A and B are shown apart, each in its own frame.
Chain A
Amino acid sequence: MTFSDKTVAKRRWRAMLYSLLAIIALAMILPSLGYVAAWAQSGPMVIGYESRDSNPRADMWRDARQSVAGTTDQSGPYTTNVLINNSGEIWREIRSGREGVPSPLKRFGGWIMLLSLAAIAVFFAVFGRNKIEGGREGLTVPRWTMYERVLHWFVAITFIVLGITGLSLLFGRTVLIPVLGARGFAAYAQVAMTVHNFVGPAFGVALVLMIISWLGVNIPKRVDLEWLKTFGGYFGGGHAPSEKLNGGEKLWYWIGVVGLGLAVVITGFILDFPNFGQDRATMALAHVIHAGAAMFWIALFFGHAYMGTLGTEGALEGMTTGRVDTAWAKQHHNLWYAQLLEQGVKPMPAEPPRGGPPPSAKSVTGSST
């Protein structure tokens, strides 16, 4: 083949390609002229009934399958005008699973709570109790006011009540029916549900008060980062400086009390007041967030309760009597202790000297003398 032969062949190909494109374009344009003609006669065509773009019958069944609402004359608190509610199927699979598919919610929740307990047990076995170094000094400083302690224990007790009643509803069918029997468990569950539904809102109000009251002492600072880097010396090896609350406690406040707490409380209110007419899909979503966040929160709470009682010698009395030993204060919250002294707070003997109670925490904290 010569060079010119090649260009001829190329030109021929190009001609063929262009004529093909022209044919296709015309084939599309010419029939559309009919549309233009019709449009000129009657204005733009209405997409819908007479154009075959959509078939109303098929559309209607698609709507019915996709939870689109119709109209109904039946009335009553729970009557709905939706033929097929698909959110229910999804929710059922998440909450209860189906044959051969275990419930993701129960799995996630169950494991995270068990793993938390196991981790705490291992931690306790390896590191043991965090003792007050050098023993108590016998002098105490005020730590929590009466208001703070009442609030704390109200939240703590209702938290445990809500946890037990809530978990009973989720796991009762697998765990409690074999023990109590169907009738026994139904009676138990009726009480559990009623208690959960009525105590919940009270807990929610107290939790919001707690968030507001303890916001000031939980502002994250640079020292908290340092505390977290060494985990406060809990794994051995020195002490990290800490204010009234250390980095770990602030994490518990922000992730547990504020984050998970608000998630649980807000979704709880959505579930507890069906009288506002929120639909099933909303309630199902609220349920999954509520139960999931609650179980995650309980897992964190195990750690918190351990640190407050078994894990740290001398911490619990701060929340019960309101006062802590000066040795504990120096060891765990040195910056806070120094600040107290600066404010002129005088450490008092732990035992009331002549039968009188130690001065109330309320009268001293916060006010610099």
Chain B
Amino acid sequence: MARMKFLCDVERCIECHACVTACKNEHEVPWGVNRRRVIVMDDGQPGEKAISVACMHCSDAPCAAVCPVDCFYQTADGIVLHDKDLCIGCGYCFYACPFGAPQYPQQTAFGVRGKMDKCTFCAGGPEEPHSEAELTKYGTNRIAEGKLPLCAEMCATKALLAGDGDVIANIYRKRVMRRGGRPQSWGWQAAYGQNV
């Protein structure tokens, strides 16, 4: 069985935001929610780097550990999904997540947030695949069609890799070998407890 992972090759990311736009459009993501973000480190300084980040689908996911209603589950492919019918919008997964992946449509007084929304690795949710309910709550289900996440597919420089962890790690390793320099599988330590 594959173990799905994301890897952002920061030597290639050109901060074009295509992944962010592709995701928002594909899943009709709620207003104010960004399942994927591009973060620029040292903006305008030597060594500036842009990094695309979303839910990393952690092993031993912190969000799942803290959720008071236990609404997270992990698919056989290692994709971390949640049930919006159970979610009470408490914000705990947002406190716990290393990557700031869980987002909410609101942020108002008395802790009213609405249902948590996050990247599904284009794998929908606990509803019937391709049903109206799944589409409105979680977005499309590309995994059920045998396709990989749209953000990575849309990436013009192929900086963003999505798929079986072993396969994308191999692609990345070959790139680093060809171009030299040190590998930087950023976030893998925090998400999967390991480096490439």
Q: Which of B68, B85, B186 contacts A169 (CB 8 A)?
A: B68
Q: Within 8 Å CB of A71, what residues of B?
A: 39-40, 43
Q: Which of A83, A88, A99, A271 contacts B62 (CB 8 A)?
A: A88
- Tell me the residues in window 79-125 of chain B with beta carbons closer than 8 Å to chain A beta carbons: 85-92, 94-100, 102-113
Interface segment out of the listed B30-38, B132-140, B152-160: B30-38
Contact check, A284 vs B95: say whether CB atoms are below 8 A apart.
yes
Contact check, A186 vs B43: say whether CB atoms are below 8 A apart.
no
Q: Determine which residue in B51, B87, B109 has the highest number of CB atoms from chain A within 10 A of its CB, and name it.
A: B109
- Tell me the residues in window 18-36 of chain B with beta carbons closer than 8 Å to chain A beta carbons: 20, 31-34
Contact check, B186 vs A64: say whether CB atoms are below 8 A apart.
yes
Q: Within 8 Å CB of B196, what residues of A?
A: none
Q: Does B173 contact A (CB under 8 A)?
A: no
CB distance from B41 to the nearest CB of A (A): 4
CB distance from A203 to the nearest CB of B (A): 13
Question: Given A73-B38, A83-B53, are A186 and B47 neighbors across the interface (CB < 8 Å)?
Answer: no
Question: Given A61-B184, A173-B69, A186-B86, are A275 and B99 neighbors across the interface (CB < 8 Å)?
Answer: no
Contact residues on A (Cβ < 8 Å of other chain), bracket? 35 or more
Q: Within 8 Å CB of A283, what residues of B?
A: 91, 95
Q: Which residue of A lies closest to B88 (CB)?
A: A190
Main secondary structure of the interface of B (DSSP, over half): loop
Q: Does A86 contact B (CB under 8 A)?
A: yes
Q: Does A135 contact B (CB under 8 A)?
A: no
Contact check, A186 vs B88: say whether CB atoms are below 8 A apart.
yes
23 cross-chain CB contacts under 8 A: A57-B49, A59-B47, A60-B42, A71-B40, A74-B34, A76-B31, A77-B105, A80-B100, A81-B37, A82-B39, A91-B95, A95-B66, A96-B65, A173-B67, A177-B70, A182-B69, A186-B87, A190-B88, A193-B90, A272-B110, A273-B111, A283-B91, A287-B95
Tell me the A residues contacting B by CB distance below 8 Å: 49, 56-57, 59-61, 63-65, 68, 70-89, 91-92, 95-99, 169-170, 172-173, 177, 182-183, 185-186, 189-190, 193, 197-198, 201, 271-275, 280, 283-284, 287
